[in-house]
Amino acid sequence: MVDSHKMLWDKCLGMIKDNVTEQQFKTWFAPIGFESYSVANKTLLVQVPSPYVYEYLEQYYVGLLSKVLTRCFGTNVRLTYRIVTDKAHNISQDVEADEPAEIEQTVAAPQARSNRPQVSSNAASGLRNLNPQLNLRHTFNNYIEGNSNKLPRTVGMSIAEHPGRSAFNPFYVYGPSGCGKTHLVNAIGVKCKEIYPEKRVLYVSARLFQVQFTDSVRHNTTNDFINFYQTIDVLIVDDIQEWATATRTLDTFFHIFDHLFRTGKQIILASDRPPVELQGMKDRLLTRFKCGLTAELEKPNTQLCMDILSTKCRRDGLKIPVDVIRFIAETANGSVRDLEGVINSLMAYSVVYNCNIDMRLAERVIKRAVKIDNHPLTVDDILDKVCNHYNVTQQNVFSRSRKRDYVIVRQVSMYFAQKYTKMPASRIGQLIGNRDHSTVIHSCSTVEKRLKVDKAFGEELSSIENSFKLKK
Ligand SMILES: Nc1ncnc2c1ncn2[C@@H]1O[C@H](COP(=O)(O)OP(=O)(O)OP(=O)(O)O)[C@@H](O)[C@H]1O
């Protein structure tokens, strides 16, 4: 019997193979192992090698899996994943698959995914059915705190707890791509909904808002459109820089904004630039955007990137050595999206080639995944990285102290400065603590000699060199 169920599973795999590319099959389906099938419970149990593979299957292939299971095992078959969370200790966890209809991680009611907002001439019924369009994966729990996001995160929490009642209205958050704006504004919405389930929270991208508005003009339902938005308690609009030239959309938003603001409703706006740089927007709107709290989300620094990566690895059951985590964090130029891409690629490589994730693999993957910064290095960049590596300050390096730690940093910085900049020794000496050119020459030859005999020192220097690939 087991054999015949295993054969049915093989048949499923055969059908899947016909529906995905060879690479996709190799990466996501070949590693799945048949465990058992219970006729009584109509439950198929399969083993997946990591939580990451499970998540990926659930996110992208749950529909396909459901179809082939129905074909081969019959209707209403339940799928359970046995997820290996710790290979070394043979620990796994069983998780039931989502229904295909639930795969979208939103608080979704299906009709709400169309372009049109849920407008109802009967306000009461419209009010009950609002879909917040939030991404439930983006919460405060998995929004890691660091220096670059401490303020916006804290403010966000407080808004979620007291929407519309704090001085932070509107809350305008801006920052470069991939630094966590969408995650943060979503987390506010999710938290707010948790505390106040009755509140009408809505996340909408500026583009979707614009499409809805244009639709409403075409269908002559602009009043309904405005009425609908005026019923929202917490309105979150993402990427508002996209409205820069959409005059009519902006005029309409102005009315909605004013109404919500006057009636004590919370408005949260995210953009890739501060209000002053939103060209094309009228002053009456800009002054309103600025009247609450404008907070910048900076690019995460290396420590925050490392914390985000470590958390992700822990969650996905991935074992990645700390030096590899540091290397990825330093190379990804402060974009968390890039970081995640690198981790996903590493995971895929290690599954396909059945190898450990180590520095060599990381270097190979990162070249394809991340745009490496090619700006020429300055002595200042070098000092920054070397000091960071040895945990000393530039003041220590510039001082006259002969403390061993400071001397090493001085010598290594001079060595790299000579290797990577075209500057003469005298200039390098001037920039590194005002030393003369003979000190620079002596330092370089000391480092070179030590490199020939001290392997650990060589690895240390390679690790610093890797960090040069990142932006400041
Ligand atoms: N502090 C953080 N902790 C955990 N994950 C984070 C953090 N910051 C960003 N991320 C993750 O990085 C990815 C990119 O973040 P997000 O989409 O929020 O960036 P963004 O600033 O909105 O970018 P864009 O402007 O390009 O839309 C997401 O997967 C998000 O979960």
Q: How far is the CA of 143 from the centre of ligand 1 (A)?
A: 9
Using 50, 70 and 90 to split pLDDT, how confident is the model at 91? low
pLDDT of 81 > 50? The answer is: yes
Residue 107, phi then psi, degrees to nearest 5: -80, 55
Question: What pLDDT sits at residue 23?
Answer: 74
Mean per-residue pLDDT for 245-269? Answer: 92
Map tokens 């709400």 to a residue. Answer: 112
Mean per-residue pLDDT for 77-93? Answer: 75
Using 50, 70 and 90 to split pLDDT, how confident is the model at 261? very high
pLDDT of 192 > 80? The answer is: yes
Annotation: binding site for ATP: 178, 180-182
Which two structure tokens, joined as six digits, stand for 16?
């899947």
Q: Whose CA is nearest to atom 10 of ligand 1?
A: 180
Contact status, residue 97 vs residue 69, Cβ threshold 8 Å: no
pLDDT of 279 > 90? The answer is: no
Of the chain, the percentage scoring pLDDT greater than 70 comes to 87
pLDDT of 372 > 60? The answer is: no
Q: Whose CA is nearest to atom 23 of ligand 1?
A: 178
Annotation: binding site: 178, 180-182
70: CB partners within 8 A, 6+ apart: 77
Atom of ligand 1 nearest to the CA of 183: 18
Contact status, residue 126 vs residue 231, Cβ threshold 8 Å: yes
pLDDT of 61 > 90? The answer is: no
- ipTM confidence: 0.98
Q: How far is CA 252 from CA 123, 237, 247, 262, 438, in A?
A: 20, 14, 9, 16, 69
Contact status, residue 119 vs residue 126, Cβ threshold 8 Å: yes
Question: What pLDDT sits at residue 368?
Answer: 65
Mean per-residue pLDDT for 40-62? Answer: 80
Highest mean pLDDT among 18-27, 284-293, 403-412: 403-412
Q: Residue 334: which of 292, 300, 382 has the closest Cα? A: 300
- How far the first Cα of the chain sits from its last, in Å, is 62
Q: Whose CA is nearest to atom 31 of ligand 1?
A: 183
Over the stretch 457-472, which tens digit does the pLDDT of each residue have?
A: 988 888 888 777 654 3
Using 50, 70 and 90 to split pLDDT, how confident is the model at 371? low
Mean per-residue pLDDT for 118-125? Answer: 37
Q: How many CA atoms lie within 13 A of 277 on its CB side?
A: 9
pLDDT of 413 > 90? The answer is: yes
Question: What pLDDT sits at residue 303?
Answer: 86
Q: How far is the CA of 166 from the centre of ligand 1 (A)?
A: 25
Pairing of strands 91-96, 78-86: antiparallel
Q: Residue 151: which of 298, 361, 254 has the closest Cα? A: 298
Mean per-residue pLDDT for 113-118? Answer: 40
Q: How far is the CA of 340 from the centre of ligand 1 (A)?
A: 10
CB atoms within 10 A of CB 245: 10
Contact status, residue 33 vs residue 21, Cβ threshold 8 Å: no
Q: How far is the CA of 129 from the centre of ligand 1 (A)?
A: 29
Using 50, 70 and 90 to split pLDDT, how confident is the model at 260? very high
pLDDT of 51 > 80? The answer is: no
CB atoms within 10 A of CB 112: 17
Mean per-residue pLDDT for 222-227? Answer: 87
Q: How far is the CA of 457 from the centre of ligand 1 (A)?
A: 36
Contact status, residue 176 vs residue 300, Cβ threshold 8 Å: no
Pairing of strands 91-96, 293-296: unpaired
Minimum mean pLDDT range among 30-34, 48-52, 199-203: 48-52
Single-letter amino acid, residue 335? S
Q: Whose CA is nearest to atom 17 of ligand 1?
A: 182
Atom of ligand 1 nearest to the CA of 272: 25
String of DSSP letters for 344-403: HHHHHHHHHTT----HHHHHHHHHHHS----SPP-HHHHHHHHHHHHT--HHHHHSS---
Mean per-residue pLDDT for 223-252? Answer: 90
pLDDT of 397 > 70? The answer is: yes
Contact status, residue 275 vs residue 248, Cβ threshold 8 Å: no
Point out which residues pair with 236 in neighbouring strands.
203, 268
Contact status, residue 8 vs residue 73, Cβ threshold 8 Å: yes
Atom of ligand 1 nearest to the CA of 339: 12
- Which segments of 144-221 does DSSP mark as H helices, in order? 150-161, 181-195, 206-218
Q: What whole-number distance in Å separates Cα of residue 324 and Cα of residue 378?
A: 25
pLDDT of 86 > 70? The answer is: no
Q: What whole-number distance in Å separates Cα of residue 183 and Cα of residue 160?
A: 14
pLDDT of 8 > 50? The answer is: yes
Coil vs helix vs strand at 172? strand
pLDDT of 110 > 50? The answer is: no
The model carries a pTM of 0.59
pLDDT of 442 > 60? The answer is: yes
Single-letter amino acid, residue 154? T
Average pLDDT value for the chain: 83
Over the stretch 177-187, which tens digit does the pLDDT of each residue have?
A: 888 999 999 99
Using 50, 70 and 90 to split pLDDT, how confident is the model at 271? very high
pLDDT of 114 > 60? The answer is: no
Point out which residues pair with 100 in neighbouring strands.
none
Mean per-residue pLDDT for 436-447? Answer: 92
Q: How far is the CA of 463 from the centre of ligand 1 (A)?
A: 27
Question: What pLDDT sits at residue 197?
Answer: 92
Of the chain, the percentage scoring pLDDT greater than 90 comes to 34
Question: What pLDDT sits at residue 471?
Answer: 44
Higher pLDDT, 211 or 55: 211
CB atoms within 10 A of CB 386: 27
Q: What whole-number distance in Å separates Cα of residue 378 and Cα of residue 430?
A: 14
Q: What whole-number distance in Å separates Cα of residue 14 and Cα of residue 35?
A: 17
List all residues whose CB is within 6 A of at least one atom of ligand 1: 138, 142-144, 149, 175, 177-183, 272, 308, 336-337, 340
Burial 264-287 (b: 16+ CB within 10 A, else e): ebbbbbbbbeebeebeebeeebee
Contact status, residue 469 vs residue 334, Cβ threshold 8 Å: no
Question: What pLDDT sits at residue 277?
Answer: 85
Using 50, 70 and 90 to split pLDDT, how confident is the model at 108? very low
pLDDT of 128 > 60? The answer is: no
Single-letter amino acid, residue 447? V
